[in-house]
Structure 1
Amino acid sequence: MSERTTSASWASGIVKALEFEGLDCPALFKQLGLDFAALDDPDARFTQDSMTRLWQLAEELSGNRAIGLNMARVVRPASFHVVGYALMSSRTLAEGFERLVRYQRIIAESSDLSFRLGPEGYSLVLTVHGDHLPPTRHSAEASLACALALCCWLSGRTIQLRRVLVQGPQPQDIEPYKQAFRAPLVFGAPHDALVFERADMEAPLPTANEAMAILHDRFAGEYLARFSESRVTHRARQVLCRMLPQGEPKREMVAQALHLSQRTLQRRLQEEGTSFQTLLDDTRRELAEQYLAQPNMTLLEAAYLLGFADPSNFFRAFRRWFDLTPGEYRTRMELARSAGPEASAQGVSAARTPACTEPAP
């Protein structure tokens, strides 16, 4: 699985927030092995874990346990990459937040957002995921503070929240939270969220511009597509799918097809959290599921399409993947199908993304 990443635009916002504490951010980046100059590249990305380490180091050096709330002081649409401008040109904050949810991955892949209308008002609910490291509370608190500050900046007026939910435990000093949100606070909540008055979310924005909103939607959609396709993992998987029916692809063959050296291919895959051998194995496993779902395909055909010269190697790999022989797997699938659609949906294994299809927008 590829490591989750954060845009350089959001990372730049973090840097500005840390500078309020008088921290030497170029020195912090050097200490963490990060490229400070990459902040000037709008297409650069930083891993989620590197941002976690940055927050942790900043808290340690500054002693500020609520350092993430500084993000509210530096927020501008540019902090959100192209998504910020799409939000800015929306008719209302509610429409803008719907765009924010749609394009969230551009800003940071580590966060899941939902926006919904309930009896209490509109809720913007945030979940931050870690990779190898658990996420720090500063990531979520920075996002909440930033979202509120952006609402005030775009609307040109103070937005009074109904309440704020913070997943982290209540800190000893809650004064920074009172200052940042000026609303009832609920700590130890099941998730991080801002709850808005419905009228604030549905009021027209002075920055609304329908033509620009359409243009920014296009830019954001194109960026998402380019971002997915630029991942070496994605491109290498597509090459593997094409090559497997001709036999097991070698790393040098895939590197050549991608116009990369073997060393560069291995390094790029490593940066995205995988390796050539792991990617090959994962691709074969996902394809094996697709092939065995086709009743007319023989096990021998499936073995050769997966690049196994010797069918016994396919059988051994299959048992390692699913703890079943291919024949047992297919039998269970047939039984699940005959039991009805619900049982079939729960069948032999959980649904996975097909190995050789383009990602959904």
Structure 2
Amino acid sequence: MLNPINRRRWPVNSLGVLRDALRARAIDIEPFLIAAGIEPALLDQPGGEVAATAELAVIAACLRLPGLGEGFGLEVGPRYRLAAYGVWGFALLASPTMRSALTLGLEYQDLTFSIMPISFVSAGGDDALVFDDAAAPPALQRFMVERDLTAALRISADLWDQSADCRAVSFRFPAPADPRPYERAFGCPLHFGAPVNAVYYAAGVLDRPLPQANPVLAALHVEACHQRLRSLRGEDAFIETVTAAILARPGHFPGMEEVAAQLGLSSRSLRRRLEDSGIGYRDLVARLRQDLACAMLRETGLGVEAVAERLGYAETASFTHAFRRWTGDSPGRFARKRHQ
């Protein structure tokens, strides 16, 4: 269940997506930001957040422009790549199947940018994501449905690393005068004036393994990420964003330059922002590795050499030395004590 909209805040990433869609139409978002009390520079600040109600005010104002009514959400939704969702997107990426990704994603709906409660149902041999627009402001309902359903397909495509394999899509609103933009956006049979807004998948499709799935490491990354995020949540939202970028590829710990590029920052800016949050990049990577190492040794039965390899160490001796520094114990002794 989503928290009330007036209690929700989220990263500025969503407004950044809207800004890009407006730019494609040669429209400047700044006047709408200012009118909603949002400093335009905030959109370029990593870790920046806005009240959900303020973003909705910006959207409502934009939709009053000529030509930005019906169908505009179809242009915005596909721009929501997994990276825009931060830790929520990482959690989905780490899941073994699309079904498990959807189940986890819906459990943490408050980490998304949707104001519509989303449910996952199975009926008549199909699986469906259902979007309830009943509580959305009437002026925003069509846009939100267009945006969030196309965003759902974009997320599915990112997870599958191919086009979203959906069977059909339905909308509660009536058929548009020109259905071709909808046909291009969804590429599957469409049903307007339906009882629900939903994306339908054929039975069994959601149980296919995701391309980056690793049954052991994925589960460990998700758990370690959740544990770390719970502790980081009170520190700084920017650290949460960097953590998600570091853990985005199981078994790979990128250098600071790679993470900075992924976040659209210079290495100097990333270093300065982390220092402002009270931690260096190497220290952040080290404690993430420590969490994962302890979890793998405790829960998987993997040998020390295998754990070192999965944590990106070229030599087992380097991992053993680092583990002693973290815990005061050797990884082998740590594993034996946990299984005694």
Q: Give the TM bin, normalised by the shorter chain.
A: 0.5 to 0.7
Unaligned runs of 5+ in 1: 231-361
1:98 corresponds to 2:121: no
1:33 corresponds to: 37
The structure number with the bigger radius of gyration is: 1
Correspondences of 1:188-199 after superposition (within 5 Å): 188-199=193-204
Correspondences of 1:64-143 after superposition (within 5 Å): 64=68, 65-108=70-113, 110-128=115-133, 135-143=140-148
1:163 corresponds to 2:168: yes
Inter-partner Cα distance in structure 2 for 1:2 and 1:60: 22
Correspondences of 1:1-361 after superposition (within 5 Å): 3-8=6-11, 9-41=13-45, 43-61=47-65, 63-64=67-68, 65-108=70-113, 110-128=115-133, 135-210=140-215, 211-217=217-223, 219-220=225-226
**CA offsets 1:303-328 (integer angstroms, 9 cap, x no match):** xxxxxxxxxxxxxxxxxxxxxxxxxx
Q: How far apart are 1:31 and its partner, in Å?
A: 3.0
Q: How far apart are 1:180 and its partner, in Å?
A: 0.5
Q: How far apart are 1:23 and its partner, in Å?
A: 1.7
Inter-partner Cα distance in structure 2 for 1:42 and 1:121: 40
- 3-state SS, counterpart of residue 195 of structure 1: strand
**Equivalent pair of 2:8/2:52 in contact (CA under 8 Å):** yes
Figure out how many residues of one structure are paired with residues of the other and give that number.
230
Partner amino acid, structure 1, of 2:58: L
**Equivalent pair of 1:88/1:207 in contact (CA under 8 Å):** yes
Q: How far apart are 1:153 and its partner, in Å?
A: 2.4
Partner amino acid, structure 2, of 1:33: G
Inter-partner Cα distance in structure 1 for 2:226 and 2:142: 28
**CA offsets 1:90-146 (integer angstroms, 9 cap, x no match):** 111111111110111112372311112222421011124657776432122211101
Q: How far apart are 1:41 and its partner, in Å?
A: 4.9
**Equivalent pair of 1:17/1:73 in contact (CA under 8 Å):** no
Inter-partner Cα distance in structure 2 for 1:49 and 1:38: 16
Partner amino acid, structure 2, of 1:36: P
Partner amino acid, structure 2, of 1:196: Y
**Equivalent pair of 1:66/1:176 in contact (CA under 8 Å):** yes
- 3-state SS, counterpart of residue 190 of structure 1: coil
Q: How far apart are 1:5 and its partner, in Å?
A: 2.9
**CA offsets 1:144-171 (integer angstroms, 9 cap, x no match):** 1011122122212233422111122322
Q: How far apart are 1:197 and its partner, in Å?
A: 1.8
- Tell which deviates more after alignment, 186-195 or 176-185: 186-195
**Equivalent pair of 1:86/1:216 in contact (CA under 8 Å):** yes
1:270 corresponds to: none
The structure-2 alpha-carbon separation of the partners of 1:133 and 1:184, relative to structure 1 and needing over 3 Å to count, comes to closer
The structure-2 alpha-carbon separation of the partners of 1:179 and 1:133, relative to structure 1 and needing over 3 Å to count, comes to closer
- Tell which deviates more after alignment, 2-11 or 217-226: 217-226
**CA offsets 1:212-260 (integer angstroms, 9 cap, x no match):** 45434554577579879x9xxxxxxxxxxxxxxxxxxxxxxxxxxxxxx
**Equivalent pair of 1:5/1:109 in contact (CA under 8 Å):** no
Partner amino acid, structure 2, of 1:5: R
**Aligned Cα root-mean-square deviation (Å):** 3.1
Partner amino acid, structure 2, of 1:35: E
- 3-state SS, counterpart of residue 200 of structure 2: strand
The structure-2 alpha-carbon separation of the partners of 1:26 and 1:216, relative to structure 1 and needing over 3 Å to count, comes to farther
The structure-2 alpha-carbon separation of the partners of 1:60 and 1:191, relative to structure 1 and needing over 3 Å to count, comes to same
Q: How far apart are 1:12 and its partner, in Å?
A: 2.5
Inter-partner Cα distance in structure 2 for 1:128 and 1:221: 33
**Equivalent pair of 2:96/2:218 in contact (CA under 8 Å):** no
TM-score by length of 2: 0.58
The structure-2 alpha-carbon separation of the partners of 1:218 and 1:133, relative to structure 1 and needing over 3 Å to count, comes to farther
Q: How far apart are 1:62 and its partner, in Å?
A: 5.2
Identity over the aligned pairs, expressed in percent?
A: 24
